[in-house]
């Protein structure tokens, strides 16, 4: 079995599965509530953009570019903020989680007042911060906002693990499977909750973010305590 102490808490299973839940939720929420566009799955937006260009629906095509450009800006902004925080010895993962949590709380209460263009742009911006900040699960790379890489990992680790009789590789396959499962659970939760809460369903993603923030802060204080001993 993998020794959990080999990894920081932000690479742990609880945080990884919480983040993939959020990723699935955001794309299902945005697709259902915000005009059939994706907040984080920019490949889907680019495909719809291309199809509408070919069909001559130029105005509709432009709408699919908004989340793509916002995601791009979010990724670039994240690098600047991350370096600024690290130079001042702030815990980046705690900062990123706080930005996400505060952002989604504000967007949840403003969702009925903002038009869909502003809402999806802001969600895509925050999703980019999550994608750039949390990229590893127990030492392996994985995706928190899309599952294509996780599906690929599942197949590779599963076959390699059985052929080589490597329990650690099979364990990676298991982790990839659960990352996919929680992504699907997030999407199902979004599809179900929006029927009753409409735009306010976005508040649901704040629950796993609170859990993540609590785990990160707890680790921070435990490390400070161990340094004093």
User: Does residue 6 belong to any structural domain of this protein?
Assistant: no
User: Does residue 3 belong to any structural domain of this protein?
Assistant: no
Predicted confidence (pLDDT) per residue in 92-130, tens digit: 899 999 999 999 999 999 988 989 999 999 999 999 999
User: Does residue 137 belong to any structural domain of this protein?
Assistant: yes
Instruction: Name residue, tokens 């690098």.
Output: 79
Partnered with residue 137 across adjacent β-strands are: 140
User: Does residue 2 belong to any structural domain of this protein?
Assistant: no
Provide the domain limits for residue 107: 11-228
User: CA Rg, the chain, in Å?
Assistant: 19
Check pLDDT > 70 for residue 3. Answer: no
Predicted confidence (pLDDT) per residue in 193-224, tens digit: 999 999 999 999 999 999 999 999 998 788 77
User: Does residue 169 belong to any structural domain of this protein?
Assistant: yes
User: Does residue 4 belong to any structural domain of this protein?
Assistant: no
CA distance from start to end of the chain: 29
SS3 category, 132: helix
User: For the chain, what is the domain count?
Assistant: 1
- How high is the pLDDT of residue 169? 94
Residues 34, 119 contacting (CB under 8 angstroms): yes
User: Does residue 118 belong to any structural domain of this protein?
Assistant: yes
**102: nearest Cα among 126, 128, 76:** 126
The burial of 120, by beta-carbon neighbours within 10 Å (0-12 exposed, 13-18 middle, 19 or more buried), is given as: buried
Residues 55, 217 contacting (CB under 8 angstroms): no
Residues 126, 104 contacting (CB under 8 angstroms): yes
Check pLDDT > 50 for residue 4. Answer: no
Predicted confidence (pLDDT) per residue in 61-89, tens digit: 999 999 999 999 999 999 999 898 888 88
State the Cα–Cα distance between residues 23 and 129, nearest whole angstrom: 12
SS3 category, 145: coil
Predicted confidence (pLDDT) per residue in 13-31, tens digit: 999 999 999 999 999 999 9
């Amino acid at each position: 079995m993998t020794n959990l102490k080999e990894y920081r808490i932000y690479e742990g299973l609880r945080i990884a599965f919480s983040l993939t839940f959020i990723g699935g939720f955001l794309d299902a929420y945005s697709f259902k509530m915000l005009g059939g566009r994706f907040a984080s799955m920019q490949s889907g937006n680019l495909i719809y953009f291309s199809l509408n260009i070919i069909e001559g629906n130029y105005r509709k095509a432009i709408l699919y570019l908004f989340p793509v450009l916002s995601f791009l800006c979010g990724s670039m902004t994240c690098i600047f903020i991350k370096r600024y925080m690290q130079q001042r010895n702030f815990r980046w993962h705690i900062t990123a989680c706080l930005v996400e949590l505060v952002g989604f709380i504000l967007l949840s209460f403003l969702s009925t007042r903002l038009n869909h263009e502003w809402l999806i742009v802001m969600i895509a911006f925050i999703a980019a911060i999550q994608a750039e900040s949390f990229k590893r699960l127990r030492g392996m790379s994985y995706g928190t906002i899309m599952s294509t890489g996780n599906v690929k990992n599942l197949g590779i680790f599963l076959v390699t693990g059985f052929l080589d009789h490597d329990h650690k590789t099979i364990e990676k396959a298991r982790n990839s499977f659960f990352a996919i499962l929680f992504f699907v659970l997030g999407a199902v939760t979004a599809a179900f909750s929006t029927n009753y809460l409409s735009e306010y369903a976005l508040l649901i993603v704040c629950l796993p973010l609170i859990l993540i923030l609590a785990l990160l802060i707890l680790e921070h204080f435990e490390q400070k305590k161990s340094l004093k001993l």
